[in-house]
Structure 1
Amino acid sequence: MRADRLVSLVLLLRQRGRLSATALAQELEVSTRTVLRDIEALSVAGVPVHAERGRYGGFALLPGFRTELTGLNHDEALALLVAGSRRGAQAFGLGSALASAMLKVVDALPESHRDTAAGVAERLLIDPETDLLARRLDGDDVPDPIAGEVRRAVFAGRKLRIRYAALGRPPRWRTVDPIGLVTVREQGYLLAIRSGEDRTYRLSRILAAEELAEPAERPDRVDLDRAWQERGTRFRTGGDQVTVLVRVDPARREELVGTALAVLAEEAEETQEGEESGADGWLRLEVTFQDARHAEWVLWKLAADAEALSPQWLRTALRERASALAARYGASTR
């Protein structure tokens, strides 16, 4: 790991010029003390890195220095394969590997193309962490050691022991046969087999993981896309799902559809004259949710831009919640 970090440090200095110890520490995700030790190690190894004093000082390489330390390691190559989604790499614990790999890719470019590539990259922003309303687009936060252990078991074809916190249940250990990893909307999932049954685990709910020496009992080949679709079908047609008839402002339709399990029917409401209101009028949809709590949460989030028409228990739950909130804010402050 340190060798990879030293290479990344050299490439950062080559591509960006003078950088402070603080800036290098942020880029490499280590402490400034570690950076200073790495700088000393590079100097001892003959890399011409020197310190520049002053307010705008930092560390820099002698002009014209070039190294061929650009070979990609396993995780960096893997990170490039999932680089179509930066958040996908993050969900699988490959964020730092992706950053390191991209440094090596840029450094491997001919000098005539390197500056052009850097300039173009500055004008592209993919998957920012917030939208235009400054709302954070939260994805899964999976510690790198856990993600790495899960990855290794998946690729090596070995059994995996995980401590998993299922929703609404206390965490417990279980041993699974890992099949593959899937990322959907910035959330990572482990597809596995347990006791002969298909299982799907949210990566962010895995509290600890241990790759075992025993080979996994799984098919030699897998079609992850098909496996994901089949599990999605079983998920949508089982459990405590509820069907809701709801009317919604077209401006919030995508938000409703994006959080529901499925849309069973949809139509535009009609005006009093019997003519369809079209895009400017509200829509009426029949949708399914995972359970009662899921349905209540989605409709509450849509506030006055949606109305649950049925079932009655959902209308009652939303009315009671709204009444409690109105009573809270109707009282004078202490």
Structure 2
Amino acid sequence: MRADRLVSLVLLLRRHGRLSATALARELEVSTRTVLRDIDALSAAGVPVYAERGRHGGFALLPGFQTELTGLNHDEALALLVAGSRRGAQVFGLGSALASAMLKVVDALPESYRATAAGAAERLLIEPETDLLSRRVVAEEVPDAVVAEIRRAVFAGRKLRIHYAAANQAAKWRTVDPIGLVTVRGQGYLLATREGEDRTYRLSRVRVAEELAEPAQRPDRVDLGRAWQERSTRFRTGGDQVTVLARVHPKRREDLVDTALAVLAESTDADGWLRVEATFQDTRHAAWAMWQLAASAEALEPQWLRSALHERATTIAKHYAESGG
């Protein structure tokens, strides 16, 4: 780990010319004390790094210094393979490996290409943290130690023991046979089998993970895309799903369809409004989806949903009818 960090430190100085200990610590995700120790280690190894004093000072390399220490390690190569989504690299615990790998890639480019590549990169923004409506995209936080242990078990083909907290339940220990990892909209999932049955576990709900020595019982090859699609289909068609019949304004049709699990039937009323029969994950999901549409939609069935929406609207109307103070 330290050898990789020393290489990254040299590449950072080659790329930026001069950086303060604080900036280096932030880039390498270590303390400034660690950076200073690494600088001493590089100097002792003959790397010509020197300190510049003053307000705009920092550490730099002697001009013209070259290094061939640009070989990618396993995690860095893996990070590049999932670099189509930087958020995916973060979910799988490969964020720092991706940053280190990209430094090495840039350093390996011919000198004449570096400026062009850097300029092009400045004109590309991949999956920003907010959309045009300033809605923040929140990626789930998974401790690096946990996801690293899960990742090792997946790649090594060994059984995995996880302390997992299902929704609204206390955490329990489970021993599973891991198949693969999936990231969707900033959320990570472990696809596995348990006692021969398909299981899907949300990474953010794994409290502790332990790779076991015993080989996992799983096929040598797997179509992860197909496996995810099959599990998604089962999720949409099982559980405590509810069916809702609603009228919705044509301009808000897509808003309703996008939140539903499936649309079972659709027709147009005489006034131009759409009559849509759709399924939702559960009662809470159905109530939330209809509430978002406000007066642009009306739930016709079931009656409990109409009553729930009426009660919520009445409560809010009463709240705002009262004088503020």
- Shorter-normalised TM range: over 0.9
CA distance in 2, matches of 1:305, 1:2: 59
* Residues 307, 35 of structure 1: alpha-carbon distance in 2 compared, 3 angstrom cutoff: farther
**Cα shift at 1:248:** 4.0
Q: Give the corresponding residue for 1:5.
A: 5
Alignment of 1:61-140 (within 5 A): 61-140=61-140
**Cα shift at 1:249:** 5.0
**Cα shift at 1:65:** 0.9
* Residues 165, 216 of structure 1: alpha-carbon distance in 2 compared, 3 angstrom cutoff: same
Query: Which range is displaced more, 109-118 or 129-138?
Result: 129-138
1:224 aligned to 2:224?
yes
TM-score w.r.t. structure 2 length? 0.94
Query: Which range is displaced more, 260-269 or 92-101?
Result: 260-269
* Residues 248, 72 of structure 1: alpha-carbon distance in 2 compared, 3 angstrom cutoff: farther
Q: Give the corresponding residue for 1:274.
A: none
Q: Give the corresponding residue for 2:310.
A: 319
Q: Give the corresponding residue for 2:282.
A: 291
* Residues 103, 206 of structure 1: alpha-carbon distance in 2 compared, 3 angstrom cutoff: same
The percent identity for this pair of structures is 78
Query: Which range is displaced more, 88-97 or 303-312?
Result: 303-312
CA distance in 2, matches of 1:77, 1:210: 24
Alignment of 1:16-95 (within 5 A): 16-95=16-95
Query: Which range is displaced more, 297-306 or 307-316?
Result: 297-306
* Residues 52, 291 of structure 1: alpha-carbon distance in 2 compared, 3 angstrom cutoff: same
AA paired with 1:105?
Answer: V
Q: May I ask how many residue pairs the two structures share in their alignment?
A: 325
* Residues 73, 257 of structure 1: alpha-carbon distance in 2 compared, 3 angstrom cutoff: farther
**Cα shift at 1:168:** 1.3
* Residues 293, 19 of structure 1: alpha-carbon distance in 2 compared, 3 angstrom cutoff: same
**Cα shift at 1:252:** 4.9
**Cα shift at 1:304:** 4.0
AA paired with 1:164?
Answer: Y
AA paired with 1:289?
Answer: F
Cα RMSD (Å) = 1.9
**What does the per-residue CA deviation read over 1:6-64, in whole Å, with 9 as the maximum and x for residues that have no partner?**
11111111111111222212211222222222222211211111111122111111111
CA distance in 1, matches of 2:20, 2:74: 29
* Residues 214, 284 of structure 1: alpha-carbon distance in 2 compared, 3 angstrom cutoff: same
AA paired with 1:291?
Answer: D
* Residues 285, 61 of structure 1: alpha-carbon distance in 2 compared, 3 angstrom cutoff: farther
CA distance in 1, matches of 2:86, 2:304: 42
Structure 1 spans left out of the alignment, 5+ residues? 272-276
Q: Give the corresponding residue for 1:300.
A: 291
| Corresponding residue SS for 1:201 | strand
**Cα shift at 1:309:** 2.8
AA paired with 1:69?
Answer: L
**Cα shift at 1:198:** 0.5
**Cα shift at 1:164:** 0.9
CA distance in 2, matches of 1:262, 1:135: 25
TM-score w.r.t. structure 1 length? 0.91
CA distance in 1, matches of 2:290, 2:32: 48
Alignment of 1:94-243 (within 5 A): 94-243=94-243
